[in-house]
């Protein structure tokens, strides 16, 4: 069985970064977007990073423009937006695709480890997501595909996927306790 350490991603300059460089860390891998209803999640992720980075948390930010083209711009433009608007200090990488023909091998593996976890039925954006996804594919809930921006995968210190959090999962009340268990 493989681990996340078998994969590489590209940094904002297009250079390969081996995820083995993060061995021993707890990772939160997130596909992000700068013009999405979930974009304020950047602030929640930054707060989590500030609180837990010194205990071994690393956040891997992978911008993705596949959902409503909500991550326009270059990797540097996205980085400038995130640092200026949300004070982001966690690493941001090159834009990737998380579904389909050109999806990143990392995401093929992540999705094989943890399928769709379901949206929080009480989240205000859930009805809109269900409407959009149902119009595109009546069987959308059955696939392990990433459904929207800010889907998060939690990786333990050994490189294994522990949990998948959909964009509607609250960072403070749902994601943070799961991260803390691994730290």
State percent of the chain over pLDDT 70.
99
d(CA 148, CA 85): 21
| CATH architecture observed for domain 4-182 | 3-Layer(aba) Sandwich (3.40)
- Answer whether 78's CB lies under 8 Å from 34's CB: yes
Instruction: Evaluate if residue 72 carries a pLDDT over 90.
Output: no
| C-alpha neighbours within 13 Å on the C-beta side of residue 141 | 9
Note the pLDDT tens digit of each residue in 104-136. 999 999 999 999 999 999 999 999 999 999 999
Instruction: Return d(Cα 54, Cα 141) in angstroms, integer.
Output: 37
Which contacts qualify for 85-89: CB closer than 8 Å, 24 or more apart? 85/42, 86/42, 86/43, 86/46, 87/43, 87/46, 88/42, 88/45, 88/46, 88/61, 89/46, 89/49, 89/50
Average pLDDT, integer, range 80-84: 93
Active site members: 36
- Where along the chain do its domains lie? 4-182
pLDDT of residue 73: 87
pLDDT at 163 over 70: yes
Q: pLDDT value at position 23?
A: 97
Q: Residues for the chain: how many in total?
A: 183
Which letter does DSSP use for residue 14 in this model? S
Q: What is the pTM of this model?
A: 0.96
Residue 55 pLDDT greater than 90, yes or no? yes
User: Over 80: is that where the pLDDT of 1 sits?
Assistant: no
Mean pLDDT of 172-179: 98
Rounded mean pLDDT of 20-46?
96
């Amino acid at each position: 069985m493989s681990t996340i350490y078998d994969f590489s991603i590209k940094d904002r300059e297009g250079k390969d970064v081996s995820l083995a460089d993060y061995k021993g860390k707890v990772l939160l891998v997130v596909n992000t977007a700068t013009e999405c209803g979930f974009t304020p999640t950047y602030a929640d992720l930054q707060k989590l990073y500030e609180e837990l980075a010194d205990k071994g948390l690393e956040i891997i930010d992978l911008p993705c423009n596949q959902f409503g083209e909500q991550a326009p711009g270059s990797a540097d433009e996205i980085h400038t937006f995130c640092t200026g608007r949300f004070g982001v200090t966690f690493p941001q990488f090159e834009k990737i695709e998380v579904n389909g023909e050109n999806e990143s091998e990392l995401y093929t593996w992540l999705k094989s480890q943890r399928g769709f976890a379901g949206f929080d039925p009480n989240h205000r954006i859930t009805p809109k997501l269900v409407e959009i996804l149902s119009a595109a594919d009546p069987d959308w809930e059955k696939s392990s595909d990433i459904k929207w921006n800010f889907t998060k995968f939690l990786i333990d210190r050994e490189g294994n996927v522990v949990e998948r959090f959909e964009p509607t999962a609250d960072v403070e009340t749902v994601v943070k306790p799961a991260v803390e268990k691994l730290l």
